[in-house]
Each structure stands twice: as structure tokens, then as C-alpha cells.
Amino acid sequence: MGSLFRPLVFFLAPYRWQVVGISTLFLLLSVIDLLGVGLIAPFVAVILNPEALSGEIFGIALPDWLVGGNYGVWLAAGIVMAFVLKGVSGVFVQWMILGFVTRFRARQIKSLMDGYLSQPYQFFLMRNSSTLIQTILVNSKIFSDDLLLPLFRMFAELAVALVLTILLLSIAPLFFLSLIACMVLAGAIYVVVISRQTRQAGQKVTLAQEQLVRGVTQGIGGIKEIRTLGVEVGFSDYVAHAGVRLGVNQRRFYTFSVIPKYLMEMVAVGFVVALVGFYIATNRDPSELLPVIATFAVAGLRLMPAFSQTFSSLNSIGYSRFATDQLYEDLKAFDGGPAPFKTVAERAAPPAGFSQIRLRHVSFTYNGADNEIVPFGPVSLTIPKGSVLGLVGPSGAGKTTLANLVLNLLQPSQGQVEIVQADGQILDAATARSLFAYIPQEQFLLDDTIEKNITLDWSGAPVDTARLQRALDLADFQRVVAKLPEGLTTSSGERGTRLSGGERQRLSIARALYHNRQVLVMDEVTSALDEETERGIVASFERLRNEGLTLIMIAHRHSTLRICDSIVRMENGQIVQQGSFEAVLGAAGPAPQLEEPNP
């Protein structure tokens, strides 16, 4: 429990008053339990010997109208009412616990998602997406279901055990202390023997679930290549191996979880038998024996689940430690939380007055495939507003790194990337980001309607139809929508499978225009298109330039690059040539001097 203290305090601190409220309910429920069990002894005593009525219960004098022939009836009614009240209250308390735990998990999932979405781009280059999915979907469930919920239930049972302890100590302290000693000893042996194996099982389950998520997402996501290469068996075996590991370790955990129930039963039954044997051996009066036995029997029915739940909860808490540590590390890193995200309707319009994008002696370093340090730059470049810039060069030349620096996805290690306004002022990073859109070769598309894919808005706010229509027209996507069976409400299919490559590109362009982006960074958007479709896309680029948009395109096809005002050739993270299409990509002509940014 020691290593779990900090995560628990960190997670539950914002909900301290709710935890206090639930704990108060535990105490009230335990008092009701005490009342029901405490009435058993006098009830049995009155049945065995009506003359033994003392006129008081729990040290409280009874009224004359109650002390009489109906005393046993009133006791019976009191016992029934106490247990009915206890049952109703128990259901209510469980409802409150489950409500708190499920709401807590929902908030935790949102905190994780918000935290991940607010991380710098480099974070996603270093973390596997399957690990993030595992943390959000699986680890949060393990923490809620296998740590938080058992912890609350354990405290609820311990509260009951505490008040029953007081009752039984007042009736037969020696026997009760002997019973507690036996149960604690048995439980301690269980915890010592099982706890380490439970923690190991929990870690292996978490890792196996992560492997399952990775295998399933990769196997289904790459079905085309997998099917054509005939390597299905490898992915199937990978997932199957993870499934076997998951099953084996879950079996261990669930088997360990049921041991306390049977262990406590054996201890309790053995103790009661020993108690009866002791009374018989000492020739005690049955009228003295039966009330005590009845009280211990009923109390035992509550104490056994209490002790069983306690040790099962400890087992479950140990099982959840690995997943909890992963959750804690990520949420602790997000402590303070990201700035609240804004809906499409809430965002301010991007500034319209920028004049140029300026890179001033920008350098960047990153880890390559073999963890070697790969340098980029220094690079100096000016991109005027409304121009079309092409980036060319061999693979690994630094084109994508340059694009990511312009997009503010990567932060330069030296130098500055500046968005200069018409008055010479430099835009701050958050405002500057609202100018840009990124359009990759493989588009990001939802399995949702065409309209939702363009707006990317779940707020429920009305769609700006005028802005949407303008985006469709400029992207030349309106004629595609007109042919679809349900127009804008037609589903695009998973990853846009119901659209052609050119249609997906036009949708991505329409999305950027709907969000009022003024600078479009395009990465090989025409490389997979046929010539006719490419000509149509390039014609769309011409319309965008005429609208004053700035285009930065990574491309290899000369037919795409001909519309560029300037071409930049890159090699080994450096700009080695810059000029017109004819100067950089033509058959002849010396390369002009590289352009330096404005001071």
C-alpha cells in the first residue's frame, strides 16, 4: 500500500468531500448492522427463558408497555426492521459507491485524453499509440474496478467489522479475540504468500492487454498489405500469444481472489465448532450458550464477508499497482491540466494581416532510426503571404522536418520561426498556429458523415453553411457531394474507404478552408493520384492561390510543382538551392543565391 499512497492522494484529492460523505454512509450502515445483530442475543434469551427479561437492552431501560408478554414479538419486529433497513441502506451505499467510481473513471478518461491531445508533437513520436490507447481504455478501468472500487468496499466492510467487534467484545471478549487472531493470522499468511504473485500477474495482464491492442490495431489497419503478402498467420499468432498470456494471468488473479472467501469460512466454522465444544465440555447452561452462539453465528455471517472482502481487496489492489503506476506517471505529468479546448464556434477567426513566414537560422536535432543524433539546419527562409513554395529533395533530406517546424509542431533548438504581420509585429505561437492546416498524403478521416469530416465539430453548434459552401466550392468538392446518395450526410466509411483518392484530398482541402486556415502545408498530396485527378487538384491549388492562400507543398512530381513561385531543394537538413521551377528543376541554368530572411 505504501507505493500506492501518493497515487491515491493525487487522484482523490479533488474529491475529498465526496470520499468523506461516502465514509459517513459506511459508518451509518455499520450502526444499523450493529442494531440488527445486537438484538439477536436478547431475542434468543427471551425465547429460551421469558422470565429472564431484565427490563433493559444495551443498558437502556425499556418502557413498561414493552416489558410484557409481547416483548419477544417486539424484538423480532426490531430485528426484521433492522435487517430490512440494513439491506435497503446497503443497496443505496453500493449505488453511491458505483456512481462515484464510474464518474471518477469518466473524468479520468477525459483528463487523459485532454492531456495527450495537449502534448507537443514530439511526445507522439516517442510513444506508441497502442500504449496510449491501453492507458485510456484499460488502465483507467483497472484502477477504477480493481483498486478504487475494492478499496471502498473494503472500508465499508471494515466499518461493519469495527462495530461488530465492539459488540462481540462486550459479549465474549476472550472467544472473540481468539476468533480475530485466527482470521488475522490466516489472512496474513495469505497476503504474504499471494501478494507478490498477484502483483506479477497484474503487470503481465497489463502488458498482455497492451500487446493485444497493438496487434489488433496493426493487423486490421494493415489488412491490405497483410492480405497481399500472405502474412496473416504472423499477426494472428501475435494476438493469440497475447490472448494466452492474458488468460493465464487473469486465471491466476481470479483464483487468488476467491481464496479468502473459503479461507475465512474454514476459520469461522472451525472456531464456532470449537466454541460449541468448549461449552459442552465445561457443562455450561444451554440458556447461556445459545444466545452467545446465535449472536456469534449471525455476526460471523457479517464478519466472514468483511474479512474475505478485505483480503480480496488487498489482492486486487496489488494486482492493479502496475496499471496504477502508469496512470499516475502520465496524469502527474499533465498536472495543472491543459488550457480548456475551444469548439469550432468558440474559436476566434485567424488573423488576416500576416505578411510572411520567416525562418531565422533555424536548427533542430532529433534521434534517428539507430538513436543517432541527426542535425537539421541552420535554415533561413522567407515565405511571402499568398505564395506557393515547393520543397524537394531525397528522402531524409529534411523536408518534413522543415514543414513541421513551420507548423509549430516541432520547436527549433536554435533560431526562430516567425509569423510577421503587416505592421512588422510577430504573432505569438498560439495565434500563429490558427493560420495553418496540414494535408498529408494519407488523410485523416472519420467513419462519419462528409459534413462531420469537414467540420470536425461535436459541440452540436449549428454548422456555418455559408462557410461550408465556400469551402466546398474552392476545393471543387461540391460536384462530388452532389453525386453522393445522401449528400453531406453520406458516410465516408472507415478511413474514407467510400471515397476515391482525389475525393479524399478535396475533402481535406475543404476541411482546411472551413476552418479558415490561410496557410496549407501539403505533404505528397498528389503522389498517389492519376494524371487526370492530379490536374484537377492542381487546378484547385490555383484557385486557392488566387484567393490569397499560402501553399507549402512537399512533392516529387514536376507537374505538381510547376505552379510554385519558388522551389527549395534540400539535402542533409540544409537548403542547397532555391529559385524558380526552371532554375531548380529545369534542364539547365545555374542555381541562384539562396534567399536570406529579412532582418
At 265, list the grid cell. 469460512
Of residues 69 and 146, more confidence is placed in 146
Q: Provide mean pLDDT across the span 221-226.
A: 68
Measured between alpha carbons, how far is residue 310 from residues 111, 323, 569 in Å? 30, 21, 68
Q: Order of strands across the sheet with 414-421?
A: 373-384, 354-367, 414-421
For residue 498, the 8-state DSSP code is T
Model confidence, pTM: 0.72
pLDDT score of 347: 59
Does the structure show a pLDDT above 70 at 592? Answer: no
Of residues 296 and 576, more confidence is placed in 576
pLDDT bracket for residue 482 (50, 70, 90)? confident
The C-alpha torsion from 105 through 109 and 112 to 114, rounded to 10°, is -130
Whether 443 contacts 394, CB under 8 Å = no
Does the structure show a pLDDT above 50 at 593? Answer: no
At 18, list the grid cell. 465526496
pLDDT score of 569: 92
Reference 446, options 492, 379, 411; nearest CA is 492
Q: Provide mean pLDDT across the span 461-487.
A: 86
| 3 state DSSP class of 77 | helix
Q: Provide mean pLDDT across the span 459-485.
A: 85
Measure the CA–CA gap between 229 and 410, rounded to whole angstroms: 36
pLDDT bracket for residue 350 (50, 70, 90)? low
Reference 415, options 442, 458, 381; nearest CA is 381
Q: Provide mean pLDDT across the span 484-488.
A: 84
Measure the CA–CA gap between 486 and 489, rounded to whole angstroms: 5
Does the structure show a pLDDT above 80 at 480? Answer: yes
One DSSP character per residue, 279-324 reads HHHTT--HHHHHHHHHHHHHHHHHHHHHHHHHHHHHHHHHHTHHHH
Q: Provide mean pLDDT across the span 206-222.
A: 80
Count the residues in the chain.
599
pLDDT score of 595: 43
| 3 state DSSP class of 515 | coil
Lowest mean pLDDT among 255-269, 442-456, 567-581: 255-269
What is the SS3 assignment for 7-29? HHHHHHHHHHHHHHHHHHHHHHH
% of the chain surpassing 70 pLDDT: 80
Lowest mean pLDDT among 153-157, 220-224, 358-362, 584-588: 584-588
| 3 state DSSP class of 461 | coil
Residue 482, number of CB atoms within 10 A of its CB: 9
Q: Provide mean pLDDT across the span 172-193.
A: 79
Measured between alpha carbons, how far is residue 525 from residues 128, 479, 506, 529 in Å? 25, 20, 10, 8
Lowest mean pLDDT among 161-165, 458-462, 530-534, 586-590: 586-590
% of the chain surpassing 90 pLDDT: 5
Whether 328 contacts 10, CB under 8 Å = yes
pLDDT bracket for residue 118 (50, 70, 90)? confident
Residue-wise pLDDT for 367-399, tens only, equals: 654 555 667 878 899 999 989 999 998 888 888
Does the structure show a pLDDT above 60 at 598? Answer: no
Residue 440, preceding peptide bond in cis (omega within 30° of 0): no
Does the structure show a pLDDT above 80 at 43? Answer: no
Could you tell me the domains of the chain? 2-333 (1.20.1560.10)
Mean pLDDT of the chain: 78
Whether 476 contacts 540, CB under 8 Å = yes
Residue 346's identity, in one-letter code, is: E
Q: Strands (DSSP E) along 385-430, which ranges?
A: 388-392, 414-421
Measure the CA–CA gap between 470 and 478, rounded to whole angstroms: 9
Does the structure show a pLDDT above 90 at 3? Answer: no
Q: Provide mean pLDDT across the span 419-433.
A: 83
